[in-house]
Amino acid sequence: MTIQVFGHKSPDTDSTGSPIIWAWYLNEVLGTPAEAKLLGEPNTEAAFMLKRWDLPKPAIISDVADDAPVVIVDTNNPAELPANINGADIQAIIDHHKLVGGLETKGPIDITVRPVACTATIMHDLIGGDMAKMPDAVKCAMLTCILSDTLEFRSPTTTPHDKAVAEKLAGELGISIPDYAAEMFAAKSDVSSFSDAELLRMDSKEYEVAGTKFRVSVLETTSPATVLDRKASLIESMKTVAGEDGVDQVLLFVVDILNEESTLLVPNDLVRTVAAKSFDARAEGDSVVLPGVVSRKKQIIPNLKL
């Protein structure tokens, strides 16, 4: 039976590219039939990667069948996976997030979690000497994943190993990292085709603080003004999104990749308190700049207080 390889819902670049990398490895190196899948439409940067390197867009699936063999990459959180995930036959997990509990397997399986910036970096190491067999397009996906998750090495999640792997790949591929990253970030920053609600849900994780449920959304962009121009309607849309998704409040951090800072939208006093207690930031109006804050994993979630 063909193994389905997928990342998390609302797929970003790593959750789009890593399934492609691992399905290649299973098929072409290990000889195990496998297919990359997506749990939703890829974001603009991920869509750019597919088009740029002529990689077929993986099919989108909504759930998995009982006992279907699957490999989970780039998450270990059941909330970010198909509803029936624990009914599937989970064969492996490759991830770089904290363990949240909740996933169960029917037997002992391969699980590899490493504290690096990107799933693709871990795959590079697991593939080892077989990297020599990897086609350029798949290597390009690997490079794109690492540049995306590290924000071209700007994110504090970046480890020296992520950087070394990306630089090795770029060298082999003859790609200039600064030029290519600029292309990627321009693609990611083109959000004109998305509704406000889509932007609020595009790169978002639920997180609870002191009984209050937040949807913690980030928008990484080289053009924050494009997003902030829509501030009023984004704030208006937060109530609807929160209501539909069963959370108390949406937090939107507009991450300015190039200037390495975030702007947090401040629709009400609840978020004003969050800004003050979490980031020691006094929000006078309906937004506040947080210098140096670019990583939800390392800087936003661990500091969130109410």
135 is an interface residue for its own copies by CB under 8 A: no
Nearer CB in complex with its own copies: 127/175: 127
d(CA 151, CA 167): 14
101 is an interface residue for its own copies by CB under 8 A: yes
Which residues in the 273-302 window bind its own copies by CB under 8 A? 297, 302
- C-beta of 14: minimal distance to its own copies in Å? 13
d(CA 59, CA 275): 39
DSSP letter assigned to residue 155:
S
**Token pair for residue 278?**
């979490």
Nearer CB in complex with its own copies: 104/229: 104
128 is an interface residue for its own copies by CB under 8 A: no
d(CA 134, CA 173): 11
Helices (H) and strands (E) in the chain, counts: 10, 11
d(CA 148, CA 142): 10
- C-beta of 111: minimal distance to its own copies in Å? 4
Sequential DSSP letters for 29-97? IS---EEEEESS---HHHHHHHHHTTPPPPEE-S---TT-EEEEES---GGGS-TTGGGSEEEEEEE-S
111 is an interface residue for its own copies by CB under 8 A: yes
99 is an interface residue for its own copies by CB under 8 A: yes
- C-beta of 260: minimal distance to its own copies in Å? 21
- C-beta of 76: minimal distance to its own copies in Å? 9
Neighbouring C-beta atoms of residue 300, cutoff 10 Å:
23
Q: Mark the segment that binds its own copies (CB under 8 A) among 97-105, 210-218, 223-231, 276-284.
A: 97-105
Q: What is the dihedral of CA 171, 180, 16, 187, to 10 degrees?
A: 180
Task: Among 98, 133, 239, 305, indicate the residue that binds its own copies (CB under 8 A).
Answer: 98
Are 290 and 281 in contact by the 8 Å Cβ rule? The answer is yes
d(CA 200, CA 216): 9
Nearer CB in complex with its own copies: 3/200: 3
Task: Among 102, 243, 291, 292, indicate the residue that binds its own copies (CB under 8 A).
Answer: 102
Are 11 and 46 in contact by the 8 Å Cβ rule? The answer is yes
Task: Among 113, 182, 186, 306, indicate the residue that binds its own copies (CB under 8 A).
Answer: 113
208 is an interface residue for its own copies by CB under 8 A: no
30 is an interface residue for its own copies by CB under 8 A: no
114 is an interface residue for its own copies by CB under 8 A: yes
Q: Mark the segment that binds its own copies (CB under 8 A) among 57-65, 104-112, 139-147, 216-224.
A: 104-112
User: Would you tell me which residues interact with its own copies (CB under 8 A)?
Assistant: 90, 93, 95-116, 297, 302
